[in-house]
Chain A
Amino acid sequence: MAQAFDARAQQTLLASRVEQALALAEKLGADAAEVGASVDQGVEVSVRLGEVETVELSRDQGIAITVYVGQRKGSASSTDAGEDSIRATVEKALAIARYTSEDPASGLADAELMATDLPDLEVHYPWALSTEEAVSLALECERAGRDVEGITQSEGASLSTGEGVRVYANSHGFVGTQRGSRHSLSCMLIAEDENGMQRDFAYTTARDPGALSAPADVGREAAQRTLRRLGAKRPATGSFPVLFDPSLASGLVGHLMGALAGGALYRQASFLCDRLGTPLFPEWFSLEERPMEPGATASSPFDADGVQTRNNRFIAEGKVASYMLSTYSARRLKMETTGNAGGARNLRINAPLQTPEALLEQMGCGVWVTELMGQGVNGVTGDYSRGATGFWVEDGKVQYPIEEFTIAGNLEQMFANLAGIGNDVDTRGSIHTGSWLINDMTVAGN
């Protein structure tokens, strides 16, 4: 690309900047401080109808400083990492800390919790790819999709590749560094029939470029996903089982984790307040976190507080086994941190898995949902109502595409009504899961 990214040199540079910021914070009156700094560089090319459409080079940097004066806290950040700017940022954070209130829960995590096991988790795979090569991969992807009969228009294909370094340090003397990469290829196509146009997309993403799907496969998958939507009808209104595609089932896990997050719990803004140890899912379902898994999407040996990450078990045999806590939210709840400042890292489901065909068979008559729209999830009550697109299923067989309907329920009941999980596991994101079959949801259509 334009400039090579020397991750090792960047790491050294960032480490010296955070040291400088910490030293300055203490010199200017902070009792404790923590600093995060990052540099990311990447390229994204997009093509449309066989031609290059955009070539975009990105290079982002930033430094974020939090200071503690007694139990008061102030934060400031900047995208300018020059020496003057670091000083101004520290000063601003300290100025803010003069106006914030004492908070007994504030402050760094306890020193003895700082991560000491800091292995290389193999998440950095630079891709020495020229712009021309990137364009050619995107073109190959789009061409394969457009070659499929019935595809009438294209929103294009795009390839992005990026890598970055982040450093977190605090005045306990902890310094954690992480180098990482992410590469993606996606394609969106359009087909048309007498009822109008439909579009859909496919993508592949990985830390290691060698793990990406073949460009032509991504293009063809986008074409197939688009074509299968043509001729969609509206389903009848009623109560039916719903099969969630793996990419949507991971969203349900996301809603669960949002409700188990300490920040939602201490604010009483979760439908899972006071539910520790109580049943939520069927007994055959467990949910675990594997933050140290080599090469995985969200792997890190330390969390956003510098605390050692660990293998958490959030749901054990159907029961709520652990909340997801940072240092601050744990103190608010009078509990211990679970090493989850910054969220959950690599969630894995432990449950018996079935083939998608077996799930359809079990469902009998209902809807298979392949896309959801809107933000109709209430984390306080668990009420769930979202726009959907998918397929009508009868006698365990897919009948025809359906669109312009909603599915609704309450997350607590939906989790209790989980009837099966597929072996069609989507491993592209931080949450790995197959399809979920959930009984007894309300479908609103005609």
Chain B
Amino acid sequence: MTQLDQAASMLLTPGGLDLDSLDTGLSHAMGAGIDYADLYFQRTWQEGWVLEDGEVKEASYNIDGGVGVRSLAGEKTGFAYSNQITADALVDTGKTASGIVRSGTRLAGQAVRPVSAALCYPDIDPLAGLSADDKVAMLKLADRVARAADTRVSQVSASLSGTYEVVLVRASDGTLAADIRPLVRFNVSVIAAHNGRRERGSAGGGGRYSMAKLRDAGVAERYAKEAVRQALVNLEAVDAPAGQMPVVLGAGWPGILLHEAVGHGLEGDFNRKGSSAFAGKMGQRVAAKGVTVVDDATLADCRGSLSVDDEGTPGQRTPLIEDGILTGYMQDKLNARLMGMAPTGNARRESYAHMPMPRMTNTLMMAGQDEPSDIIKSVKRGLYAVSFGGGQVDITSGKFVFSASEAYLIEDGVITAPVKGATLIGNGPEAMGQVSMIGHDMALDTGIGVCGKEGQGVPVGVGQPTLKLDELTVGGTQS
């Protein structure tokens, strides 16, 4: 069965609909004066298992589903959704959405054009294939490994979660697309206590594949050890320095620098509205030479990957900055059309109950030439940050922050004491100009990112090589 047939049978059939009946459904959303409309059908099955005190005491299961209907007229958007996927619901939501304008020409929808896209991940139910006993055993293994790793470990919690998501998009431009999106994640968090001090360490990861693959990859053991290692490092951490200094970012997850410092500022909506610090800078230098940043939805099995986006556009690899020059924005159909550009497969939405907008998928900086050890050696006094909590950006002023959860001092070219977590702050365009060394060790994160925008959360990935910024402000307490 093709993905389309499979999605139709799971999303449409239960409510008495089929692919042919979507033309009628769409016609309600294509009211007078509407120039584009789409129907987004979605169902998600979500499962979560949590271990605490060595036992799995809690688990939950959630089923969500419905249809979101959107009608566009110029820059206007009408939007409504329903938990019911029925012909009646399509009439109600379609009329509500198209009520955004009340006059104008009534356009006919274009002939159906099924979208063909390469699959970037398997079209499977990730929750199947691993029994409940296996899931519990995996969590208990993480607990045993973490507790055996060091006597200072006082608390261990671990979680296993997975989502099976099926979507189907039908739009008035003829688009008909379906996608089956597995997503799994395993996480371990520990508290280590020593001499009256307590610190946390955590590690985790996952991607768009099955829970069985997660287990076979040995994540329970790996993340348990990694979480313990981080907690023990933090038990020794001294107060972080305060002020401007060179900062070396490790490879992988520290790529949230790119996500915050440049990624959001290159989303089409902010640039169309002129509210981004990067607005109007296409073709100009916005980063140091050697800096190449792409958004890549096509990476196999990655957390942020999309075979097709939430408007049915195939996922792509979109260059954003090439050798320091701004070359691309991330677009959905609305903003692409209004800016006279092409959609880039970056339309994303948290669910059928949310409107799509331009969002990142996996955002990466390409590898450079430098030896990571040479990058450390080049710093007289600075910070080496290898793991982060979260970040945030004000896209208008360009100011961004991200908070280190594991960092070290660099003194005379040598990594010395671990320091407590500190927030780093900078200005996106300026910080990208401060990049002076780029390692050859490009790495992806382990699959843990969630990006929030206008209240909507979506899974994302980041990646980068070891990187040196000549000057960034470190928000410690030692001035």
Chain A interfacial positions (CB closer than 8 Å to B): 2, 48, 51-61, 73-81, 85, 88-89, 92-93, 95-96, 98-103, 106, 131, 153, 155, 190, 196-199, 229, 237-239, 267-269, 273, 373-376, 378, 380-381, 383, 385-387, 389, 403-410, 442-446
Contact = CB atoms under 8 A, between A and B. Distances in A.
B350 to A, nearest CB: 13
Contact of B403 (A106, A197, A375, A405): A375
Contacts of A61: 83
A385 B398 contact: no
A374 B396 contact: no
B399 interface: yes
A85 B85 CA distance: 14
A373 B401 contact: yes
9 nearest interchain CB pairs?
Answer: A406-B475, A387-B401, A374-B401, A101-B55, A444-B242, A376-B423, A376-B403, A199-B396, A75-B60
B392 A383 contact: no
Contacts of A375: 389-392, 403
Contacts of B57: 73, 100-101, 103, 106
A197 B275 contact: yes
A213 B242 CA distance: 41
Contacts of B81: 57-59
A268 B82 CA distance: 42
Interface stretch (B117-125, B191-199, B317-325): B191-199
B426 interface: yes
Contacts of A60: 83, 353
Given A75-B61, A268-B198, A380-B200, A406 B80 contact: no
Interface of B: 52, 55-66, 75-83, 92-93, 96, 99-100, 132-133, 135-136, 154-155, 157, 191, 193, 197-200, 240, 242-244, 273-275, 277, 353, 355, 389-392, 394, 396-403, 420-423, 425-427, 473-479
A237 B479 contact: yes
A227 to B, nearest CB: 14
A380 B199 contact: yes
A196 B255 CA distance: 26
A52 B425 contact: no
A408 B477 contact: yes
Nearest to B78: A55
Nearest to B399: A404
B193 A268 contact: yes
Contacts of B477: 385, 408-410, 442
Contacts of B136: 99
Contact of A403 (B62, B76, B399): B399
Contacts of B242: 237, 406, 408, 442-444
A268 B58 contact: no
B473 A268 contact: no
A358 to B, nearest CB: 28
A190 B396 contact: yes
A375 B423 CA distance: 8
Nearest to A444: B242
Contacts of A106: 57
A237 B475 CA distance: 10
B275 A444 contact: no
Contacts of A98: 132
Contacts of A407: 475
B61 A406 contact: no
Given A374-B401, A380-B200, A386 B475 contact: yes
A446 B243 CA distance: 6
B420 A199 contact: no
A429 B458 CA distance: 27
A406 B425 contact: yes
Given A268-B198, A404-B473, A197 B397 contact: yes
Nearest to B77: A54
Given A268-B155, A269-B200, A374-B403, A56 B76 contact: no
Majority secondary structure, A binding face: strand
Given A375-B403, A381-B198, A408-B242, A51 B76 contact: yes
Contact of A199 (B133, B197, B200, B275): B275
A55 B64 CA distance: 23
Contacts of B61: 75-77, 92-93, 96
24 contacts: A2-B92, A48-B273, A52-B76, A54-B79, A56-B78, A56-B79, A57-B79, A75-B61, A81-B83, A96-B132, A99-B132, A100-B58, A101-B56, A153-B275, A155-B275, A267-B191, A269-B200, A373-B394, A374-B402, A375-B391, A385-B421, A386-B475, A406-B473, A407-B475
A80 B64 CA distance: 7
A330 to B, nearest CB: 16
A75 B58 contact: yes
Contacts of A410: 477
B403 A385 contact: yes
Given A54-B78, A73-B58, A75-B61, 18 more contacts: A51-B75, A55-B99, A57-B80, A60-B83, A75-B58, A77-B60, A80-B83, A153-B275, A155-B273, A155-B275, A267-B155, A374-B402, A376-B401, A386-B423, A386-B475, A387-B400, A404-B425, A408-B242
Contact of B191 (A88, A198, A380): A380
> Among B61, B99, B132, B135, which residue has the most Cβ atoms of chain A within 10 A?
B61
Interface centre among B52, B136, B242 (most CB of A within 10 A): B242
Contacts of B100: 52, 54-55
A416 to B, nearest CB: 15
A284 B93 CA distance: 56
A78 B273 contact: no
B78 A404 contact: no
A196 B398 contact: yes
Nearest to B197: A381
Given A79-B65, A80-B65, A197-B277, A374 B59 contact: no
B397 A196 contact: yes
Of the listed residues A79, A155, A269, A381, the one surrounded by the most CB atoms of chain B closer than 10 A to its CB is A79
Contacts of A103: 55, 57
B80 A56 contact: yes
A139 to B, nearest CB: 14
A405 B390 CA distance: 17
A443 B133 CA distance: 51
B218 to A, nearest CB: 22
A365 B158 CA distance: 47
A345 B421 CA distance: 31
A267, A389, A406 interface centre (most CB from chain B within 10 Å): A406
A317 B397 CA distance: 42
Nearest to A88: B63
A356 to B, nearest CB: 24
